[in-house]
């Protein structure tokens, strides 16, 4: 499946701040063609970078492009009983998708990673945003009700700001617009006013999909949001998991070696 590879690699390596980084040992996944073939479990140390809902891993900390990418949607992060201490696993709702077993350097590092990864999904972010958006509306309403002159605090222009975060208030001047894209093209774009709301200032984010039922309800600290039985679309993402060429080349080499050794 094609991906806008160059853009993805750029996003992975650019200096936009990462949510979490560090070395982890990643279990090497081999294909077992015969049940009685025992390959010793091995781990490879990789440099991991979490940006948003994307977990990139690099061969070295200063590698110029990622080896792989894990899209953290429709997954659970849990401690796992590997032979290794400080191991945790990323598992997907889609049974066909491979799991990732990762090993941290110590207890604190493991806990930090599990926490960071558990809350990394876009779905989670969107849930929280929706919730805050409602809270802000309510806060504004009760403020308006308290005050004699509701116009002051909740004027239409301010309401425009409230519902469209692209038009940020004056105290915070964003240097980026929309999808993390810096202003470019000779400063044609002003602060989001280039995209006026057609419906008069109430451009709301797209409605949330119903929240999936988590396999592991033990993600500590997640908000008690209403659950829905409808599973997310994971078929698309199973193609993206562990995607990069080098990884595939390694698998192919191993397979070829096995072929040479006479395994059918």
Partner 1 sequence: EQKSDRRQSCLLPLVAPAGVHGAALLPTSTPVFFAVLKKRLVKLVVNFLFYFRTDEAEPIGALLLEHCRITKEEENVFSISFIEEPERKYCFECDSEEQCQEWIEALKRASYEFMRRSLIFYRNEIQKITGKDPLEQYGISEEARFQLGTRKQ
Q: Which residues pair with 76 in a beta bridge?
A: 91
- Which window, 59-67, 78-86, 96-104, 131-139, contacts partner 1 (CB under 8 A)? 131-139
Interacting residue with partner 1 among 96, 186, 187, 221 (CB under 8 A): 221
Give the total of residues touching partner 1 (CB under 8 A): 74
Q: Give whichever of 192 and 258 is closer to partner 1, judged by the CB atom.
A: 192
Query: For residues 88 and 96, is the Cβ–Cβ distance under 8 A?
Result: no
Interacting residue with partner 1 among 108, 191, 195, 216 (CB under 8 A): 195
Interacting residue with partner 1 among 24, 49, 54, 77 (CB under 8 A): 54
Q: Give whichever of 126 and 258 is closer to partner 1, judged by the CB atom.
A: 126
Q: Residue 138 and residue 17: Cα distance in Å, rounded?
A: 32
Residue 178 main-chain phi, psi, to 5 deg = 50, -125
Which structure tokens are listed for 169?
């208030």
Q: Does 128 bind partner 1 (CB under 8 A)?
A: yes
Query: For residues 78 and 92, is the Cβ–Cβ distance under 8 A?
Result: no
Q: Residue 259 and residue 92: Cα distance in Å, rounded?
A: 30
* Ranges within 9-38 binding partner 1 (CB under 8 A): 10-11, 14, 16-17, 19-20
User: What burial letters (b/e) apply to 32-42, b meaning 16+ CB within 10 Å?
Assistant: eeeeeeeeeee
Residue 90 main-chain phi, psi, to 5 deg = -105, 120
Strands 68-71 and 176-177, bridge-based pairing: unpaired
Interacting residue with partner 1 among 149, 175, 190, 217 (CB under 8 A): 175
Q: Does 135 bind partner 1 (CB under 8 A)?
A: yes
**Chain CA centroid to CA 239, Å:** 16
Interacting residue with partner 1 among 96, 186, 187, 223 (CB under 8 A): 223
Q: Give whichever of 125 and 257 is closer to partner 1, judged by the CB atom.
A: 125
* Ranges within 69-98 binding partner 1 (CB under 8 A): 71, 73
* Ranges within 154-173 binding partner 1 (CB under 8 A): 162, 165-166, 168-169, 172
Answer left, alpha or beta for residue 227, where phi above 0 means left and psi between -120 and 50 means alpha: beta
Interacting residue with partner 1 among 239, 252, 253, 263 (CB under 8 A): 239
* Ranges within 98-127 binding partner 1 (CB under 8 A): 116, 119, 121-123, 125-126
């Amino acid at each position: 499946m094609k991906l806008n590879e160059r853009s993805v690699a750029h996003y992975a390596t650019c200096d936009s701040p990462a949510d979490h980084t560090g070395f982890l040992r990643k279990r090497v996944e081999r294909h077992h063609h015969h049940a009685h073939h025992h390959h010793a479990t091995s781990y490879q140390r990789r440099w991991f970078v979490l940006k948003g809902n994307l977990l990139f891993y690099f061969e070295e900390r200063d590698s110029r492009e990622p080896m792989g990418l894990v899209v953290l949607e429709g997954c659970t992060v849990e401690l796992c009983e590997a032979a290794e201490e400080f191991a945790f696993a990323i598992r997907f709702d889609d049974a066909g998708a491979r799991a990732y077993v990762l090993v941290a350097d110590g207890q604190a590092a493991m806990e930090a990673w599990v926490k960071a990864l558990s809350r990394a999904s876009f779905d989670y972010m969107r849930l929280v945003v929706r919730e805050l958006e409602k809270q802000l509306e309510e806060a504004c309403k009760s403020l308006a009700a308290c005050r004699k002159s509701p116009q002051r605090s909740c004027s239409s222009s301010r309401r425009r700001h409230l519902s469209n975060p692209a038009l940020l208030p004056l105290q915070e001047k964003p240097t980026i617009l929309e999808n993390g894209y810096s202003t470019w093209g000779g400063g044609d774009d002003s602060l989001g006013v280039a995209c006026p709301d057609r419906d008069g200032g109430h451009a709301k984010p797209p409605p949330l999909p119903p929240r999936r039922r988590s396999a592991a309800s033990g993600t500590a600290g997640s908000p008690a949001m209403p659950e829905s039985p409808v599973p997310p679309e994971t078929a698309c993402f199973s193609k993206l998991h562990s995607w990069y060429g080098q990884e595939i080349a390694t698998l192919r080499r191993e397979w070829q070696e096995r072929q040479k050794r006479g395994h059918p």
